[in-house]
Amino acid sequence: MARLPKLAVFDLDYTLWPFWVDTHVDPPFHKSSDGTVRDRRGQDVRLYPEVPQVLERLQGLGVPGAAASRTGEIEGANQLLECYLHSRPEWNESSNLNSRVGDICEGPNWALRSSP
C-alpha cells in the first residue's frame, strides 16, 4: 500500500478557485438558497470543477487538508472557505456557522491559519 501524506496543503488563489480573492472578486460573500456562492456584486464565485472530487478523495483516505495563502484579503478567503466547507459538512466536522475557520486541523478537517 502506498504511503499517504500526513497533511495536504493547498494554496487558495488559482489552485482551489480561478481568481485572486483580493483583486478579482468583491467580499463579502454569501451563499444563496440554491447553494451558489456570490460576491457583493452578485458575481458567481466557484471552485475549480475538479476541487470537490479531489477533496472528497483525500477526506475518504483520511488525509487532513489545510489551506495556505499569501492573500491580503484574509477575511474574504476565510469567508469563502467557510461557504464551501460548511456546504460539505464531511469536509469540516465542525459545522458551527458562527465559528471562524482558525487553526490547522486534526483529522479529516479543513482550516486556514493566518500568520501572526
Task: Report in angstroms the alpha-carbon separations of 49 from 15, 55, 85.
Answer: 11, 11, 15
Q: Which residues fall within 8 angstroms of residue 33, CB to CB, at 6 or more apart?
A: none
Catalytic site residues?
Answer: 11, 13
